[in-house]
Amino acid sequence: MRVKASIIALALVLTGCSYEPPGPAVEQAVAAPVDAARVTVEDAGKGEKRVITYEDIDSEQDVYFELTEGFSQDVVDAEVATDFESSTPEEATTGFNLNAEVSEATDDPAQTPATRNAFMTLTSPTYTGTEALNIESGDGFQFGWRADDAGQVSSLRLAAPQSANDDARSVLEQAIVELTSMPIVFPDEEIGEGAVWTVESRTSGDSTLLQTTTFTLDDLTETGAELSMDISQRPALGALAMEDGGELEVMDTETRSTGNLSVDFSQPLPTNGDIDIATRVSYGTEESQIRVLQSTNTRMTFRPVADNS
């Protein structure tokens, strides 16, 4: 169940891409479509309200991003599954600096209409985990997306350095997919402080998760916002395939999460913030006396590059 990015293997060749950014030689950029997130306003908030949009065209941003992931699996008796304390997940942490540039999106009949084209280059990648992986060859990995002014992303593209080894490709693709699987999308209607809205989306990878993020607008200024988040996740598939050909159904899903992000409307990425998600899925059948418990932890951090130098 642990998500492993496979965007490169499944992607379509990106057409109409003419940029030649500086840095190490990279492979032909590839792209994959991204399902549009569904946005629903639960509470429009109070005070002065307005439609919130990104205004980041022709901007540049430097930010540090860190991703920590963990996974564990336990097989227990069905009668104790509810109160069972899952094993501590084995965790791995990937970090890197990001330089982001945003330009006006060009019209492309082959792609969903967009207004913004975000292009990012990651540098100084690091990795710590139970395995000793060298991902330095991924320095200069490039990715980007097309999006509208509200933050709806319509396609993701990646270009690995030609010299990147398999470990660097796998680890950095995974981190990029996780970053882009947490979309910050604003409603297309007027909202004010205290507003609450949900964003329903899908995470990408070998195992797709259905994700609902509830945003609360804690503070709103002319140039930015402070957001708090509550996230729930559940498997997109209702059963876990077994090696013997059988299936275990999803019996229960539980998510605990916290999240706080600082957003500058003139920047494509959060300027500061932390997201912490812990999800446990219980698999079994009504007749089975056992449950398979799979636990995943995901933590994301955004910081100014200067804070991590």
Give the whole-angstrom CA distance, residue 303 versus residue 273.
Answer: 7
- Residue range 245-280, pLDDT digits in tens: 778 899 999 999 999 999 999 999 999 999 999 999
In the chain the first and final C-alpha atoms are separated, in Å, by 35
Helix ranges (DSSP H) in the chain: 7-10, 166-180
Give the whole-angstrom CA distance, residue 74 versus residue 247.
Answer: 17
Of the two residues 123 and 14, the one the predictor is more confident about is 123
Dihedral pair phi/psi, residue 169, rounded to 5°:
-60, -50
Query: What pTM was estimated for this model as a whole?
Result: 0.86
Tokens of 137: 């060859």
pLDDT for residue 89: 86
Residue 30 has pLDDT above 80, yes or no: no
Give the whole-angstrom CA distance, residue 75 versus residue 87.
Answer: 10
pLDDT for residue 204: 61
pLDDT for residue 237: 77
223-227 average pLDDT score: 98
Give the whole-angstrom CA distance, residue 96 versus residue 77.
Answer: 42
Residue 16 has pLDDT above 60, yes or no: no
Q: 7-308 maps to which CATH number?
A: 2.30.230
Q: Express as a percent the part of the chain with pLDDT over 90.
A: 67
Tokens of 206: 């070998």
Of the two residues 301 and 29, the one the predictor is more confident about is 301
107-131 average pLDDT score: 90
Rg (CA), the chain: 20
Residue 11 has pLDDT above 50, yes or no: no
163-182 average pLDDT score: 93
What residues have CB less than 8 Å from 103, skipping those under 6 apart? Answer: 57, 58, 116, 117, 119
Say if strands 196-202 and 209-220 run parallel, antiparallel, or are unpaired.
antiparallel
What residues have CB less than 8 Å from 219, skipping those under 6 apart? Answer: 193, 225, 226
pLDDT for residue 3: 35
Residue 12 has pLDDT above 50, yes or no: no
* Total residue length of the chain: 309
280-291 average pLDDT score: 91
pLDDT for residue 24: 67
Residue 10 has pLDDT above 60, yes or no: no
73-102 average pLDDT score: 93
Residue 110 has pLDDT above 80, yes or no: no
Residue 5 has pLDDT above 50, yes or no: no
124-140 average pLDDT score: 93
Chain-wide mean pLDDT for the chain? 87
Helix, strand, coil percentages in the chain from 3-state DSSP, rounded to 5: 10, 50, 40
What residues have CB less than 8 Å from 260, skipping those under 6 apart? Answer: 226, 227, 228, 229, 273, 274
178-185 average pLDDT score: 91
Query: What is the DSSP secondary structure assignment for residue 55, as one 8-state letter?
Result: -
